[in-house]
Structure 1
Amino acid sequence: MVVADYRQLEGMGFEFVSGSVVKESAHLLTYTVTFTAVLDFTHFVQMSNAYVPGYLASEHNAVRPVLEGVAYHVLYNRFGSAAGNIGTTDALSKVFASPDNYLNEWADVGLQRRYHKPRFDMVDGQLQVTGGQDFRWEDEREIKLQDLPDIHFTWTLNVLKAHPDDPFHQPEEIVRFGYAEEAFVEVGGRPIRKGARYMVGRELQLGAINPKQILTAG
């Protein structure tokens, strides 16, 4: 499988707005966060067209948002009837904003996690996304704050191009645009792109998440 190029996109950012941590029961911890998903739409159009000419004009081309730490988009969304009429960040977000596009099931072994269905809103002309995760132990033992892992926050738009000979075939991922740098640094034993947001799970407390707990890699 060929992994598409990643490119830091000028004018893209991921800015923390608010969040909270709640212990729903002895066996369930959950956090919710809201971020502003900043996107310079004009620059996105220019750069996506450089890789896929007429990208937003084809109903068969597609996009996949990657929002690690906030929500998990299952596959991709073709532009369909919106093609040719996507002229703003708001219009682009409507392509992938339906909750039906996102996973909401328990995954992993040992410490299990379940993503929330996200909500997208336009606030003062900027896209905001609200989501989060639930955590529990597979063996149903009590879960504690110090059990939580580091949580990385990704905001990437994956550009997918329709197959020229068979537009209904699964589109090919051409490039990934994100707010973080292209280089990696190590955080908590895991590679993360320099400039990416993250928080240290074991240092969280119940209640509101302090903005100072949203760290920047590198």
Structure 2
Amino acid sequence: MKGNLQDIAISIFSICLQKGISINIQWIPRGENSKADYISKIIDYEDWGVSEFFYTFINDLWGPYTVDRFASSRNAKLERFNSLFWNVNTEAVDCFTQNWSDENNWIVPPIYLVLRAIKHVIACKAKGTLIVPKWISATYWPFIFNKNMNYRDYISDVIEFENTSGIFVSGSNRKSIFGTEPFIAPLLAVKLDATRITRP
């Protein structure tokens, strides 16, 4: 019924024929396959990332990083990564269930999780690099700079990128503001180090 699926089916059949592989197909009613049906309908609206070039630049500067805290199997920058949903090779689902201490964390969270990520770094007395838009009205802004525009105690450096061309990479959600259209706001790379602070 759908041309693209027919093409995939023919491709699979051709490979099986060439390799001597036999496939037995079994139809399972939706009512008996509810978990797989549910998973197939999940949409990750925050499926976007940063380019390899940008990651390499920051990694050369402040790395090496040991774990990618907000990733998927498609956009992970490291072998060790945490994901929002189960992914092949994910080390953990929900990075906030993990202890971030003793790691150099690569942190590119969905915007709604930026503040929680900063607080988790503080709670774990961890370190890493946070990539966020320069949005002074955002809830996370006072946790990066105080009212005098000085870094918070757990921030050791900030780099501002005015031109974000080539930094963001789109994922499966083509309606995301990151990666699908030119992103006009500046971007911050924030070096976090809460290993020595005694209080937030």
Give the alignment's TM-score, normalised by structure 2.
0.26
More helix by share: 2
**Greater RCO (CA < 8 Å, at least 6 residues apart):** 1
State which structure, 1 or 2, has the greater radius of gyration over its C-alpha atoms: 2
Alignment TM-score, normalising by the size of structure 1: 0.24
